[in-house]
Amino acid sequence: MPTLNSRSFNFNKVIVVFSALVVLSACATPGVSIDHDIELAIPNSVELSIANHHPFFPVSAELVSLHSAVTINHKWNVGPVGSGDHRQSLAWEANGRLISKTSNIVRTPDGSGSAIVSTSASLCGLVPLVMESASQLISKNTTIAPIAGGVIPLDFSNKYQMVARSKITSFNTSAPNLCRPAAGKSFAYQLTRLEQRKFEGKTLSSNKLHMVKEDVECHVGNKELLANTLDSSLIGNYLAVDCAYTESSKPVRKSKFAYLTSSALFVPLVVELNEYETHESLYKTSKYK
């Protein structure tokens, strides 16, 4: 994988997981059809807004990799619908941006499967700045999809490819430094980002651009907890952080993070991707520089 610069970067083709319902939504959601890929450069106005949000270097324990097991739960299914083996490498840029490269292999009981590799730049693992991924899904199951207020059964036994690209276009917060949260305090931020979703299958294809506006409110736990309770190889303490994400005309999404105080970064514990799908992470091993 090439080195990623958060202002503008090129990305090798990668594979990332998407469920069958996400495949459908890629073609069914509104958005604007486009015939090109968006450029992944952060606007100068955003650079100024995020300039103060970074760790105090050097961090006391620089985390360089994480390995976790991810359980995928879906609203339309009873119990977990799949599990993933998630590996993540981490590196800090000189300007304080966190570069993350992830790989994920997912299997479901019916033989469906996919693999993930993605690259992104963020503010300490919490606020995504730029991201690009490409995906392939092999689906061998029957599922149901919400159509016009009802549901219909759909048989999937096919390969699908999807590309996702996003970049932040506006950012605002009154917090002095999101990468240094204080115990027992709350903070909020607002952002706008552009998302490109390109889908290719045997019978369906689309390339659409979406604008997403989010209001995010987070609350930090009152006391530090031992990080080795999350993974025996993690160093120091962590603060529990609960965040709520609000988008216009959509249900509020909630996620839980652990802010690792020695490494000055957020790692996800429970992520609600949308009203249907939730990912839970159980950390297994970690490595430090």
pLDDT, tens digit, 9 for 90 and up, residues 139-184: 655 554 555 445 455 454 567 778 899 999 999 999 999 999 999 9
Lowest mean pLDDT among 10-14, 22-26, 254-258: 10-14
**pLDDT score of 158:** 63
Torsion 17-217-94-262 (CA) sign? negative
pLDDT for residue 1? 37
Q: What average pLDDT score do residues 56-81 get?
A: 84
What is the predicted pLDDT for the residue at 194? 96
Residue 12 resides in a domain: no
Distance from C-alpha of 193 to C-alpha of 128, rounded to nearest angstrom: 9
Question: Domain count of the chain?
Answer: 1
Q: Is the pLDDT of residue 124 over 70?
A: yes
Domain of residue 30 covers 20-283
Q: Is pLDDT at 112 greater than 60 in this prediction?
A: yes
Q: Is the pLDDT of residue 39 over 90?
A: yes
pLDDT at 134 over 80: no
Contact between residue 258 and residue 238 where contact means Cβ atoms under 8 Å apart: yes
Average pLDDT rounded to a whole number, residues 66-82: 77
Query: Whose structure tokens read 């760790």?
Result: 55
Whether 90 is covered by a domain: the verdict is yes
DSSP 227: G
Per-residue model confidence (pLDDT) at position 12: 34
Tens-place pLDDT, residues 182-233:
999 999 999 999 999 988 777 778 899 999 999 999 999 999 999 999 999 9
% the chain with pLDDT above 90: 58
Q: Are 131 and 118 in contact (CB under 8 A)?
A: yes
The two three-digit tokens of residue 99, written as one number: 């570069």
Q: pLDDT value at position 48? A: 97
Asked, for residue 13, whether it belongs to a domain, the answer is no
Residue 9 included in any domain: no
131 neighbors 10 (Cβ within 8 angstroms):
no
The upper half-sphere exposure of residue 77, i.e. CA atoms within 13 Å in the direction of its Cβ, equals 17
- Considering the domain boundaries, does residue 103 fall inside one? yes
In the predicted model, what is the mean pLDDT of the chain? 83
Residue 127 in domain: yes
Higher pLDDT, 116 or 242: 242
pLDDT at 29: 54
In a domain, 35, yes or no: yes
Highest mean predicted confidence (pLDDT) among 12-16, 27-31, 34-38, 259-263: 259-263
**What integer pLDDT is reported at residue 23 of this predicted model?**
41
Domain for residue 257, yes or no?
yes
Q: Given a cut of 50, is residue 271 above it in pLDDT?
A: yes
Q: What is the pTM of this model?
A: 0.82
